[in-house]
Each structure stands twice: as C-alpha cells, then as structure tokens.
C-alpha cells in the first residue's frame, strides 16, 4: 500500500510538471505571435512583387485555392532547417490544391538569394520582398508564415520552425 501511494505521488508530480511546461509553451507561442496578423479570417494584405525568375507575381491571381505564404531570410538558420519541409509539402500538395509561395526579406543581393534557393532546392515561387511587404504582413522574425483560404483570409499563422507534418496539417483543412 505504501509503495502504491509513493508511485501515485510521482505520477501526480510528473503530470503537474508536464502541464506546467505545456502551459508555458503555449504562453510563449501566444507572446511570440502577438504582433502578427490575426488568424480570425481577416483579409490578407496585398502581395505583389517580382519573383527571383524575374516574373511579376500577384497573390490575388491565385485566389481559387488556399495558399501558404512563407517569409524567410537567406541568413536565417531556422529558415534553412525548415525550407526542405516546403519542398516535401509540395510533393504532397500539388499546385492545384495549394499555392506555396516564399517571400525573401532582409536580403543583400540576388546572388545571395539564388545561392540559398539552389542550396535548399526550393521549387516554389520566390518573391523578392521589401520593407513594405514586411510591414504589411507584420513580419518581425524569420521564418514567419501564414495560411490563407481561397478567399485570401488568414486562417493560420506562426513563426519559427515548423515540421513538414505541421505545415501539412495547417494547410490540409483550409479551403
């Protein structure tokens, strides 16, 4: 009987510690994303620019399907770690079901951006972003991403590393 009471105290202690760490995690996530666009169905800002390939791009032109808009910087180590997840997500979600767009911010030269894209095998459009785009989309850290529905309303948002499964999950149920 005594042994069982000791085991139950350990279990209770473990559960309390786990609940505490989970609560801290979610508080930190909320704090981190406090200045981002709200994910409550508000319309996304305009996004127009020139791609790395030199082609004009307008997000409004692909409004018939959901979109993942991923903001990165070529010097960002977390962006480098997560960029492969975008490529793998493209294999699971074709261009007809999901627009995946990357926007490079805080870059110095086209050569720097090309080297990053080549090194990470990005096979999605890369828009050359600027300060105005960063301000309109409230990008304050890298990577930052938004999931938009086909009406260009913000449905999910996050910053920092996201796994392939996390990206897939956030984009799968958005129409």
Average pLDDT of the chain to the nearest whole number: 89
> Does the pLDDT value for residue 132 go beyond 90?
yes
Higher pLDDT: 161 or 22? It is 161
Whether 76 has a pLDDT exceeding 90, the answer reads yes
More confident residue, 2 or 58: 58
Q: What is the pLDDT of residue 93?
A: 86
Reported pTM: 0.82
Indicate the helix (H) or strand (E) that contains 27.
helix 2-32
> How many residues can be counted in the chain?
175
Is the per-residue pLDDT at 26 higher than 80?
no
CB environment 54-71: b (16+ within 10 A), e (fewer): eeebebeebeebbbbbbb
Confidence band of 27 (pLDDT split at 50, 70, 90): low
pLDDT of residue 136: 97
Query: Is 48-172 a domain of CATH 3.40.50.300?
Result: no
> Where residue 73 falls among pLDDT bands split at 50, 70, 90?
very high
pLDDT value for 39: 87
Mean local confidence (pLDDT), 45-66: 94
What's residue 174's pLDDT?
86
Task: Look up residue 126 and give its two tokens.
Answer: 């890369």
Q: Which of 110, 47, 48, 101 minimizes the C-alpha distance to 74?
A: 110
């Amino acid at each position: 009987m005594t042994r069982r009471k000791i085991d139950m105290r350990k279990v209770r202690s473990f559960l309390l510690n786990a609940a505490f760490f989970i609560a801290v995690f979610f508080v930190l996530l909320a704090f981190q994303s406090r200045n981002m666009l709200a994910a409550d169905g508000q319309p996304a800002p305009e996004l127009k620019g020139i791609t790395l390939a030199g082609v004009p791009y307008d997000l409004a032109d692909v409004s018939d399907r959901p979109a993942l808009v991923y903001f990165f910087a070529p010097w960002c180590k977390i962006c480098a770690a997560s960029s492969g997840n975008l490529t793998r997500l493209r294999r699971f979600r074709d261009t007809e079901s999901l627009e995946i767009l990357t926007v490079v911010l805080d870059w110095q030269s086209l050569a720097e951006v090309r080297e990053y894209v080549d090194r990470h095998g990005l096979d999605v459009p890369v828009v050359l972003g600027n300060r105005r785009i960063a301000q309109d989309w409230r990008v304050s850290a890298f990577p930052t991403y938004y999931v938009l529905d086909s009406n260009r309303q913000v449905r999910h948002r996050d910053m920092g590393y996201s796994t392939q499964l996390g990206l897939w999950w956030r984009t799968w149920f958005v129409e």
